[in-house]
């Protein structure tokens, strides 16, 4: 394994930050404190945080989809800035203009989310092209969902990336649903990773609820991409325990199914793993959990105090000078 004990703790800590951040959001949207909508990845923290952590380590670039909190936090984002953005405040990471679907955090190589399903794929090609063109030695991590792989953009982008041998890893979080649509109504194949064959690139399906596996595979794939071999397709199997967005009553699936998947919750699974392998003690984990919890509380309090954006800022940054 390529991770130090310190890094393993970090991973665990960020997964908990993400979980608490999102549970807090869920509550805020439920109580209609927040305007707009949000897409939570509760249950998908191993996939999101693990992949992001791998990208972060080598200074790679990332681009995300509508459900991007886990990755953003995995990359080490400042929670106050993120929470501020959820509140549409001036101190938010996009000055209140982006909201939950349009985070950005360049400091950590995070080029942000797009709210258009599949919209990130060609952008990722372009970002990867820049790395190739400038020989930066960096790669791009592009995150997508199972539903997005049926967009034309997925196809055009993976094909282009392959022909141009772009340093980009397409990381698909397969949470078995596209909104209310189950996988089998989205496509007629079992493994999304099989689509790699259409582009002559490697593809693999992994356990997306095992954060160490996610981290290891994404790291290797990024290295593969960076080495000049071209793109890599990863499908990480996971599950969204929460609703699709704030208004989802989840009538399209059984409670039993959700309960079963909760048994695969990546956070307790990781905790067990750490303890079993003597990589952490219960007390350590408890302290990390408390810290994460506190972080979110602090972020929430700070966000609430932030002023709303200056009214005039609606006009700024439509154009660059």
Partner 1 sequence: MNLQEMSYREALREAMREEMQRDPAVWLLGEDIGVYGGSFKVTLGLLDEFGERRVRETPISESAIIGTAAGSAMTGLRPVAEMMFSDFITLGMDALVNHAAKFRYMSNGQVQIPMVVRLPSGSGTGAGAQHSQSLEAWFCNVPGLKVCAPSTPAQAKGLLKSAIRDNNPVVFIEYKTLYDTRGLVPQEDNYIIPLEESYIERRGSDITVVSWGPALLETIKAVRMLAQEGISCEIINPLTLYPMDMDPIFESVKKTSRLVIVHDSQKTGGVGGEIAARVAENDCFNYLDSPIVRIGGLDTPVPVAENLERQMVPDAGVIADGIYTALGLD
Ligand X SMILES: Cc1ncc(C[n+]2csc(CCOP(=O)(O)OP(=O)(O)O)c2C)c(N)n1
Residues numbered 132-151 forming contacts with Mg ion, rule: CB under 5 A = 145-147
Q: Which of 27, 107, 194, 282 binds its own copies (CB under 8 A)?
A: 194
Q: Rounded to an integer, what is the distance from CA 275 to the centroid of its chain? A: 26
Q: Rounded to an integer, what is the distance from CA 14 to the centroid of its chain? A: 12
Q: Which of residues 8-37 bind its own copies (CB under 8 A)?
A: none
Determine, following the binding rule CB under 5 A, whether residue 235 of this chain makes contact with Mg ion. no
Determine, following the binding rule CB under 8 A, whether residue 204 of this chain makes contact with its own copies. no
Q: Rounded to an integer, what is the distance from CA 8 to the centroid of its chain? A: 18
Binding segment toward partner 1, per CB under 8 A, in 10-18, 180-188, 213-221, 275-283 = 180-188
Structure tokens at 40: 């939570």
Looking at beta carbons only, is 159 or 250 nearer to its own copies?
Answer: 159
Determine, following the binding rule CB under 6 A, whether residue 115 of this chain makes contact with ligand X. yes
Please report how close the Cβ of residue 186 comes to its own copies at its closest, in angstroms.
Answer: 7
Is residue 69 a contact partner of residue 45, using CB atoms and an 8 Å limit?
A: no
The two counts, helices (H) then strands (E), for the chain are: 11, 8
**Alpha helices in the chain, H assignment, sequence order:** 5-30, 45-57, 69-74, 79-86, 120-133, 152-164, 183-186, 211-224, 255-262, 266-276, 282-305
Contact of residue 66 among its own copies, Mg ion, ligand X, none (CB under 5-8 Å per partner type): ligand X
Looking at beta carbons only, is 110 or 205 nearer to its own copies?
Answer: 205
Determine, following the binding rule CB under 6 A, whether residue 116 of this chain makes contact with ligand X. yes
Q: Which of 10, 80, 157, 175 binds partner 1 (CB under 8 A)?
A: 157
Strand 61-64 versus strand 177-178 pairing type: unpaired
Q: Which of residues 146-205 bind ligand X (CB under 6 A)?
A: 146-148, 175, 177-179
The residues near 73 (Cβ < 8 Å, ≥ 6 apart) are 14, 17, 18, 21, 48, 49, 52, 79, 82
Binding segment toward its own copies, per CB under 8 A, in 68-76, 80-88, 148-156, 168-176 = 148-156
Contact of residue 167 among partner 1, its own copies, Mg ion, none (CB under 5-8 Å per partner type): none
Looking at beta carbons only, is 1 or 314 nearer to partner 1?
Answer: 314
Is residue 216 a contact partner of residue 154, using CB atoms and an 8 Å limit?
A: no
Contact of residue 180 among ligand X, partner 1, Mg ion, none (CB under 5-8 Å per partner type): partner 1
């Amino acid at each position: 394994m390529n991770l130090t004990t310190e890094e393993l703790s970090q991973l665990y800590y960020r997964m908990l930050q993400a979980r608490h951040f999102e549970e807090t959001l869920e509550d805020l949207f439920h109580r209609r404190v927040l305007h707009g909508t949000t897409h939570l990845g509760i249950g998908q923290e191993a996939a999101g945080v693990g992949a992001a952590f791998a990208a972060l380590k080598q200074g790679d670039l990332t681009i995300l989809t509508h459900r991007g909190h886990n990755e953003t936090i995995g990359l080490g984002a400042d929670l106050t800035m993120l929470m501020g953005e959820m509140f549409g405040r001036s101190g938010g990471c996009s000055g209140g203009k982006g909201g939950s679907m349009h985070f950005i955090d360049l400091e950590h190589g995070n080029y942000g989310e797009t709210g258009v399903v599949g919209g990130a794929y060609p952008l990722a090609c372009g970002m990867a092209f820049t790395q190739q063109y400038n020989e930066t030695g960096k790669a791009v991590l592009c995150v997508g969902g199972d539903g997005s792989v049926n967009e034309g953009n997925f196809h055009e982008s993976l094909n282009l990336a392959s022909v141009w041998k772009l340093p980009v890893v397409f990381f698909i979080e397969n949470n078995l649903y596209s909104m209310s649509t189950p996988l089998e109504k989205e496509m007629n194949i079992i493994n999304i990773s099989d689509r790699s064959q259409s582009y002559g690139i490697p593809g693999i399906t992994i356990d997306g609820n095992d954060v160490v596996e996610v981290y290891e595979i994404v790291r290797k794939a990024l290295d593969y991409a960076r080495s000049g071999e071209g793109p890599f397709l990863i499908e990480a199997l996971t599950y969204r325990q929460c609703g699709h967005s704030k208004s989802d009553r989840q009538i399209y699936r059984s409670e039993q199914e959700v309960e079963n998947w909760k048994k695969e919750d990546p956070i307790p699974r990781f905790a067990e793993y750490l303890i079993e392998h003597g990589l952490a003690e219960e007390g350590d984990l408890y302290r990390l959990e408390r810290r994460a919890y506190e972080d979110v509380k602090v972020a929430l309090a700070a966000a609430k105090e932030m002023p709303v954006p200056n009214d005039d800022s609606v006009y700024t940054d439509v154009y660059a000078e």
